[in-house]
């Protein structure tokens, strides 16, 4: 059983951590019976009417739990986690929901709206009235992005993984098969739609951040030579 756990607006412009990092740290406090399947970054609308910190992104954790009874435990741990790392000037919010909940379709629609419209806390609370949605400081505006991150991630076709296994430890060069053994599908964006073969090489750019496509982590690559592919993503400096 899956719990989607969204975080947003947990940082400030001069802080040493962003929302994504705080979300990834949560892996250290989840119960031993549970397992973090991945952490997904969701990009929301950048607009003058939205008081975002840097890029207006939110994060959603995908957590495998034994049964629905862990919902309350995970939500409570998330609250403690945010309160522990709360920074003055931030407006953190948390959203948590079980897979299969009837509210997910509405949350996904809300998430889509958050990528192209300025949305309000009132709308977020109305959509998420039957699930855990809570603010933990400042204006509590983070509940908007937290709800959006959950809806978009649950839909399975939006965002990119900022954690899946140990992405930050992967080498500069890997075979297609090595990536797929880790659960990362390698998909060609080559003009001729060539199929990357298992023993062919992928240049990772030292920055493997798969896209969430069809509920799976997918690494888009492009051909740069016979049997050699390059990750289209690169770390922004």
Chain segment 180-191, per-residue pLDDT in tens: 999 999 999 887
Using the predicted structure, report yes or no on whether residue 53 has a pLDDT greater than 70.
no
Are 140 and 155 part of one and the same domain? Answer: yes
Task: Kindly compute the dihedral angle of the four CA atoms of residues 180, 182, 187, 189, in this order, to the nearest 10 degrees.
Answer: -130
Are 100 and 134 part of one and the same domain? Answer: yes
> Which residues is 208 bridged to in the sheet?
none
Question: Is residue 237 a part of any domain in this protein?
Answer: no
Average pLDDT of span 48-70: 85
Question: Is residue 186 a part of any domain in this protein?
Answer: yes
Question: Is residue 26 a part of any domain in this protein?
Answer: yes
CB 101 within 8 A of CB 131: yes
Predicted pLDDT of residue 137: 85
Predicted pLDDT of residue 51: 65
Question: Is residue 236 a part of any domain in this protein?
Answer: no
Are 8 and 60 part of one and the same domain? Answer: yes
Using the predicted structure, report yes or no on whether residue 54 has a pLDDT greater than 70.
no
Containing domain of residue 111, as a range? Answer: 2-162
CA angle 62, 177, 196 (to 5 degrees): 105
What would the 3-class secondary structure string for the chain be? CEEEEEEECCCCCCCCCCHHHHHHHHHHCCCCCCEEEEEEEEECCCCCCCCCCCCCEEEEEEEECCCCCHHHHHHHHHHHHHHHCCCCCCCCEEEEEECCCCCHHHHHHHHHHHCCCCCCHHHHHHHCCCCEEEECCCCCCHHHHHHHHHHHHHHCCCCEEEECCCHHHCCCEEEHHHHHHCCCEEEECCCCCCCCCCCCEEECCCCCCCEEECCEEEEEEEEEECCEEEECCCCCC
pLDDT band at residue 35 using 50, 70 and 90 as cut-offs: very high
Are 7 and 61 part of one and the same domain? Answer: yes
Are 20 and 58 part of one and the same domain? Answer: yes
The string of pLDDT tens digits covering residues 153-198 is 999 999 999 999 999 999 999 999 999 999 999 999 887 778 999 9
Domain count, the chain: 2
Are 150 and 189 part of one and the same domain? Answer: no
């Amino acid at each position: 059983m899956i719990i989607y756990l969204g975080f947003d607006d947990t940082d400030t412009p001069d802080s040493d951590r962003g929302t994504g990092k705080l979300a990834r740290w949560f892996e250290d406090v989840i119960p031993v019976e549970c397992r973090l399947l991945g952490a997904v970054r969701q990009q929301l609308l950048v607009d003058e009417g939205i008081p975002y910190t840097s890029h207006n992104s939110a994060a959603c954790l995908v957590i495998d739990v034994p049964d629905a009874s862990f919902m309350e435990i995970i939500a409570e741990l998330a609250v403690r986690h945010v309160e522990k790392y709360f920074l003055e000037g931030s407006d953190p919010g948390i959203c948590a929901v079980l897979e299969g909940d009837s509210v997910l379709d509405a949350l996904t629609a809300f998430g889509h709206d958050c990528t192209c419209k300025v949305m309000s806390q009132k709308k977020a609370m109305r959509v998420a009235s039957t699930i855990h949605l809570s603010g933990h400081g400042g204006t509590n505006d983070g509940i908007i992005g937290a709800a959006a991150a959950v809806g978009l991630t649950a839909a399975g076709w939006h965002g990119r993984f900022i954690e899946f296994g140990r992405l930050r430890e992967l080498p500069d060069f890997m075979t297609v098969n090595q990536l797929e053994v880790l659960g990362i599908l390698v998909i060609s964006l080559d003009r001729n739609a060539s199929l990357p073969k298992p023993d062919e090489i992928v240049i990772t750019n030292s920055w493997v951040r798969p896209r969430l496509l069809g509920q799976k982590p997918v690494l888009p690559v492009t051909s740069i030579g016979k049997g050699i592919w390059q990750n289209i993503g690169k770390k922004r400096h």
